[in-house]
């Protein structure tokens, strides 16, 4: 069950979004490709499905459209749809996974994009783990590297998507994708706003973020440690893991409406709300 925190007088306006999600029908933790994953700890797939369903229902209640891709046996991390690609104005840059355990996901998602109206679909040459490491702020693309996506993929993204790119170096293996330590709160081109956890970034990248987003919300270590920054914002409502209480309070002060969901079972694989959610920006068909 989700719950909301009331916002102060400052009013923000959300916009209806279109999301791609994949049910965790085959979810388990059978290998280790990040520090969150422990194959020796039992996973409750039914509980993961219930949490995922509540997340999808939350999006629907907030007025967003959720589209689905069928999961594939043997690909337990396919539930983390954010890694499938990056879509801006109907143009999709697909995924190329670093780890062999996830490699086959890329083709399943490519076929979905082609069948559902991508204006252009290009697969990357370099390792590129999609919107997990490429985050659109409305005016520029923040691009993570250090553990998964290669720096060369940042140039590919700029060439294909035609948007400016800022490269950011990740240094903590627990925050292996950019979307585990940075959250885009407002993607309006004139006034983008983010939240982030500075300790997840190199010193140079911290300077870049501080200069580029001087009004950013700075997350605490406890909020980062529960993957609290792996949230989804529509410009007003921000869907967060239920443990991210301090972050929720900080966002409410800024006029956002935090909406808390339970993703504890999915977090066993290092994922949260945003990992399960790929925003589809631009043209497409259901």
Which residues carry out catalysis? 177, 275
Count other Cβ atoms within 10 Å, centred on residue 10. 10
Helix, strand or coil, per DSSP, at residue 283: coil
Distance between CA atoms of residues 170 and 261, nearest Å: 26
Residue ranges of E strands in 38-84: 65-68
Distance between CA atoms of residues 204 and 102, nearest Å: 31
Task: Please give the radius of gyration of the chain, using alpha carbons only, rounded to the nearest integer.
Answer: 17
From residue 225, how far is each of 169, 209, 251, 253 by CA, in Å?
19, 20, 17, 22
Distance between CA atoms of residues 170 and 41, nearest Å: 27
- The torsion angle over the Cα atoms of residues 127, 128, 132 and 136, rounded to 10 degrees, is 150
């Amino acid at each position: 069950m989700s719950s909301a925190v009331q916002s102060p007088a400052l009013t923000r306006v959300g916009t209806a979004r279109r999301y791609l999600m994949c049910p965790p029908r085959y979810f388990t933790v059978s290998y280790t490709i990040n520090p969150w994953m422990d194959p020796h700890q039992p996973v409750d797939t039914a509980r993961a499905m219930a949490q995922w369903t509540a997340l999808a229902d939350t999006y629907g209640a907030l007025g967003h459209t959720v589209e689905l891709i069928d999961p594939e046996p043997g690909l337990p991390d396919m539930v983390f749809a954010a890694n499938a690609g990056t879509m801006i104005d109907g143009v999709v840059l697909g995924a190329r996974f670093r780890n062999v355990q996830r490699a086959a996901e890329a083709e399943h998602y490519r076929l979905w994009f082609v069948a559902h109206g991508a204006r252009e679909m290009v697969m990357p040459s370099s390792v590129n783990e999609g919107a997990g490491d490429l985050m659109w702020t409305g005016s520029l693309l923040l691009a993570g590297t250090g553990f998964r996506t290669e720096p060369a993929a940042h140039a590919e993204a700029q060439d294909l998507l035609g948007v400016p790119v800022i490269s950011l170096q990740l240094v903590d293996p627990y925050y292996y994708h950019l979307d585990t330590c940075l959250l885009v709160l407002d993607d309006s081109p004139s006034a983008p706003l983010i939240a982030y956890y500075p300790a997840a970034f190199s010193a140079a990248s911290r300077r870049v973020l501080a200069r580029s987003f001087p009004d950013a919300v700075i997350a605490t270590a406890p909020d980062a440690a529960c993957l609290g920054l792996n949230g989804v914002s529509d410009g007003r409502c921000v869907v967060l893991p239920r443990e991210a209480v301090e972050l929720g309070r900080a966002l409410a002060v800024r006029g956002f409406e935090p909406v808390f969901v339970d993703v504890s079972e999915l977090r066993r694989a290092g994922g949260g709300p945003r990992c399960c959610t790929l925003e589809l920006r631009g043209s497409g068909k259901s």
